[in-house]
């Protein structure tokens, strides 16, 4: 199933849509800071409110969410 997400990601990247995680504010110096998902469209950023841990389970959760978001934007805008 990962190959289909590559298609979605590639289209999004080529069209100015980036989705990634960033450490939450105030977590400088923390070994595994908690993270939020950021959606960037043509340079405009929107930070999600959900917080994820950088444990194996947390990484799985945010990776799945990022894949869902790429799928959403691909299906919404790729006509």
Write down the pLDDT at residue 3. Answer: 82
For every one of its 79 residues, what pLDDT tens digit does the chain have, with 9 covering 90 and above? 578 889 999 999 999 999 999 999 877 777 889 999 999 999 999 999 999 999 999 999 999 999 999 999 999 998 7
0.95 exceeded by the pTM?
no
Annotate the chain with three-state secondary structure.
CHHHHHHHHHHHHHCCEEEEEEECCCCCCCCCCCEEEEEEECCEEEECCCCECCCHHHHHHHHHHHHHHHHHHHHHHCC
E-strand stretches of the chain: 17-23, 35-41, 44-47
């Amino acid at each position: 199933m990962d190959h289909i997400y590559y298609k979605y990601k590639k289209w999004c990247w080529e069209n100015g849509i980036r989705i990634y995680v960033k450490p939450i504010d105030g977590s400088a110096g923390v070994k595994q800071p908690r993270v939020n998902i950021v959606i960037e469209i043509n340079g405009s950023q929107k930070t999600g409110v959900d917080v994820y841990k950088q444990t194996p389970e947390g990484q799985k959760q945010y990776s799945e969410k990022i894949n869902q978001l790429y799928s959403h934007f691909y299906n919404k805008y790729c006509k």
